[in-house]
Structure 1
Amino acid sequence: MSARIDEPNAKSTESGIPKRVTLRDLRRWRREGTVFPCLTAYDATMARWLSKAGVSVFLVGDSAAEVVLGLPSTTHAPLDFLLQITAAVRRGAPNAYVIGDMPFLSYHADENDAVVNAGRFMVEGGADAVKLEADASFASVFERLSRAGIPAIAHVGCLPQRVQLHGGYSVAGRTAESARKVVEDAIRLVEAGAVCVLAEATTAETAEALVDAVDVPVIGCGAGPACHGQIVVTQDILGLTDWQPSFAGSEGQIGSSIQSVVEQWCEKVRRKEMDHPYIMKDGEAERLDD
């Protein structure tokens, strides 16, 4: 039995921000109308810097397959790799709310596999929740995860893991029928136990209807301003990727800065101008020639 039941989150004496962000905080932000930023992170160093910037919700996305590994799509994301980098993000941002991304085929074939693999994200990765791309047909998976005590987030709208099935990416909710399906999928998955919804690449009207239809936090990824939280791929807004989705934009050109710094360093190497701090003790250089 825990002595901490019903205790409020401890507050930082410096900032007033909860020392450990939990699902309670996401729910509170939803109630208060506080829109929270959420970014992807794939390593401890980036997670640490993003946390310092005020980001308290991280998705360790299967987009790492493309961004980190250079693979052609998210369907190639290895489960064990995602587990490792989820743990890395947790170490880099120990107080953040960390979401592990269930990769392609990690929950599709068998509900028992889904529970085991999701559990690995919690135990090995230190995740606070897992995210699954899903429609209403996956309700039984969410029910199993909920019974196991694993918080699951329903990813609806555009589902990148199904891109090959549809022949490419497409915006969800351009028609009333399409929008209605997104909302109905989300409702069913929340009924099955989803603790949050992530809506990707939907029309603003679809997201508005979704926010009105469910009583859990809704995170938007190119889904319009009505969502309770907003997420993009970090490398996109930093200008580190060759192409950015129209909804992400580019807030900086860090890639160009990296290139410039490295070019300067390479030139110093070629000119033999590298600083070297290590010197021998007095008299030892002469002894070296003896």
Structure 2
Amino acid sequence: MALNVIKMKKMKGEGVPLSMLTAYDYPSARLAEEAGVDLILVGDSLGNVVLGYDSTLPVTLDDMVYHTRSVARGAGNTFIVADMPFMTYHGGIDETLRGVRRLMQEGHAHAVKMEGGLEICDTVRAVVNAGVPVLAHIGLTPQSVHTIGGYRVQGKDPEDARRLMKEAKALEQAGAFGIVLELVTEEVAEAITRELGIPTIGIGAGRRCDGQVLVFHDVLQYASPYREKRFVKTYADIGGVIRDGLTRYVQEVKERAFPAEEHVFAADESVLDSLYGAAGEGANSK
């Protein structure tokens, strides 16, 4: 693993953007690493795109440990951040640290991500003091979707912009090594990026962040049906390719076109003799 939190901060200073992508299993992590992404996020978005939930809320710590461990096996040379799932870091610090320990020791993550603003600063500070890098996450925070009124763009009025700036600065002060800005107006995201000494990583937060993150399944349109999102650019439609391939497979099985001669293994006549006997084979041929 070549990248670390010190190098990320240096990249911000040099104006070198950070590329981040989610991954949830061994093959997606392997492909992401081969593509050269800087960071992999094992997001609790796996609830939506892998586990079939309507939100991230049902995702458990066991889910996150399992999927983070799979990603770590596939991307051994990439910096891996694991999401702390819903309500695993809002109780006592001992409970929080137990969850963090599991993601680091069992999941082999290099850092954890936490959603929230001022209310989690003490928790961020305690986790960082325990030796674990923390990536913060403000703006649209999916774990709080019911309290913020749905999936709405943040920073659209002066009061909200000031709130986001205050939260970002407090999280930096608490020791976060970077901050994800999700669905934040471009102007506010740019202002926060200028004010902070740590990298900002945007998703739906415009062009001025220090890096960008997208969901694996959005980049590759790997879903059925796929729902378009304004802030996403699709680089390949593998969902359509997979569907077409599976459809052809089913059709060929039904038509007995698969398996064909090149897919089978032939036995010697002696093997058939041992099964049926020469006399039996002759009788069956009449």
Report the TM-score when normalising by structure 1: 0.90
Partner of 1:38, secondary structure, is strand
Verify the 8 A CA contact 2:181 2:202 in the aligned structure 1. yes
Amino acid at match of 2:171: L
Contact kept, 8 Å, 1:244 with 1:250, in 2: the verdict is no
* Cross-structure match for 2:266: 279
CA contact (8 A) 2:125 2:175 kept: yes
- What RMSD in Å do the two structures reach over aligned CA positions? 1.4
Contact 2:20 2:41 in 1 (8 A): yes
Instruction: Measure how far apart 1:281 and its partner are.
Output: 4.5
Q: Match for 2:267: what amino acid?
A: M
Are 1:20 and 1:94, in contact at CA under 8 Å, matched by a contact in 2? no
- The answer to whether the 8 A contact 2:9-2:197 is kept is no
SS in structure 1 at match of 2:145: helix
CA distance in 1: counterparts of 2:187 and 2:88, whole angstroms? 32
Question: Which of residues 61, 66, 80 in structure 1 aligns to 2:62?
Answer: 80
Paired AA for residue 189 in structure 1: L
1:118 is aligned with what amino acid? V
| Aligned counterparts of 1:277 and 1:110: Cα–Cα separation in 2 | 61
Instruction: State the aligned residue count.
Output: 272
**Alignment partners' CA distance in 1, 2:172 and 2:101:** 20
Question: What is the 5 A alignment of 1:211-230?
Answer: 211-230=193-212
Unpaired runs of at least 5, structure 2 = 278-286
Preserved CA contact (<8 Å) 1:56 1:95: no
Matched with 1:61 is 43
Amino acid in the other structure paired with 2:13: R
Larger mean CA deviation between 184-193 and 21-30 belongs to 21-30
Q: CA deviation at 1:282?
A: 5.4
Matched with 1:12 is: none
Give the aligned partner of residue 8 of structure 1.
Answer: none
CA contact 2:40–2:81 (8 Å) conserved in 1: yes
Amino acid at match of 2:259: M
Contact 2:139 2:181 in 1 (8 A): yes
Deviation at 1:105, TM superposition (A): 0.7
| Cα shift readout 1:16-65 (whole Å, capped 9, x = no counterpart) | xxx53222332222122111211110001011112111213111000000
Deviations 1:209-249 (A, max 9, x none): 11112111111111111111100111112112321321013
**Distance change in 2, residues 1:279/1:202 (3 Å):** same
Counterpart in 2 of 1:40?
22
Deviation at 1:288, TM superposition (A): 1.1
Letter in 2 for 1:174: K
Query: Which residue of structure 1 lines up, in the alignment, with residue 231 of structure 2?
Result: 247
User: Per-residue CA shift, 1:239-288, capped at 9, x if unaligned?
Assistant: 12321321013222111111111111112211222143433345212211
Q: How does 1:64-213 map to 2 (within 5 A)?
A: 64-213=46-195
CA distance in 2, matches of 1:234, 1:143: 30
Q: Provide TM-score, normalisation by structure 2.
A: 0.91
CA–CA distance in 2 between the matches of 1:119 and 1:206? 34
**Counterpart for residue 289 of structure 1:** 276
Aligned to 1:11: none
In the alignment, structure 1 segments of 5+ residues that lack a partner are: 1-18
- Structure 1 residue aligned with 2:217: 235
